[in-house]
Chain A
């Protein structure tokens, strides 16, 4: 095993950004373009990114981003030379290293500009240590990626693991204790990923099929049983109108949606995972394949 893989066994992938972190690090807070990762309640790393405007010069873009970040994060940024022997496997990345200081803490950081996807990312570490060769910070930076691989975007947060075509955009998300939901959209196709837990408690008085019907009352027909890598699955496939009784009127049938919903109880992680695909064209079983409960 590679040294960085041993030290950083956990992947965090959110909205196009992905990086490897130590096992004990967890997401403290997130939004569409921001990640705060901590360990035992102490912040370890903050990542903030933005897409470049259509027309820009790198120098002006950097200056604007730095000044905005200084105001928003209430920090002072001081440029630093690139650490000796630092290199990154993605050649499209340009690094601008800095040190930062706020009223209560200080650390090192870097701005990463990707010439391929024109994304600018600010990464700041909350430890006083330098980003030297073989340091934890350098290994995390080396694992950093910001664009899709083979046209697919990887997602890996709070036990949810899936990939989808890069055309899908984050529509909404909710991470409430006991229920996580991520919704992605591409044109009229909607992909929704669910995670409920703790599963043993939720399924103590009901079956998986009944649980699914309680949580998603719009499920129609009978569920078909199957198997995936995480356990036994139940899958519903049905066509439904945009509103109640819409299928009675034939001219409204072109607005109806094909829905596939698959659910499984993952005993190892004590969670119930679900994935739903609504599509105007056909049953999109292919989109299930990239998820943690895709086909074996």
Chain B
């Protein structure tokens, strides 16, 4: 029997604390952008191809993503102490955004970072 995992309520999710993955390397550019570099593994399809070509499929390579100054601001707030709600409020104040606009932007951004494995989320 498959038991569906209960989705946390929005209020509870906003109290969670995002934390940076320690494997992520940061490079600040003169333009103000930030490059995050993180280790990644090949997807199963490419692992098969690597095996067929008799290459090492376990090889780790580095992916890079470039954050603009808005992404950089959110990234710099991930100190392992502030919860999502505090980050949303701080980001809204920093860029004179309303709470709702900031909430959507920050939560989507954190989700995309989480999907890439750049951050982890811990419960308060």
Residue ranges of A at the interface with B (Cβ–Cβ < 8 Å): 26-28, 40-42, 158-159, 177-178, 197-198, 200-201, 204, 269-271
Contacts and interface: CB of A to CB of B under 8 A. Distances in A.
Nearest to B102: A177
Given A41-B14, A201-B69, A201-B70, A158 B101 contact: yes
A161 B95 CA distance: 20
Contact of B96 (A41, A177, A270): A270
Nearest to B32: A204
A198 B97 contact: yes
A200 B32 CA distance: 14
B41 interface: no
Given A26-B99, A26-B100, A28-B100, A177 B11 contact: no
A35 B102 CA distance: 19
A198 B95 contact: yes
Nearest to A267: B96
Contacts of B11: 41-42
Contacts of A27: 100
A197 B95 contact: yes
A178 B101 CA distance: 8
A177 B101 contact: yes
B101 A269 contact: no
A178 B85 CA distance: 19
A15 B100 CA distance: 20
A269 B105 CA distance: 18
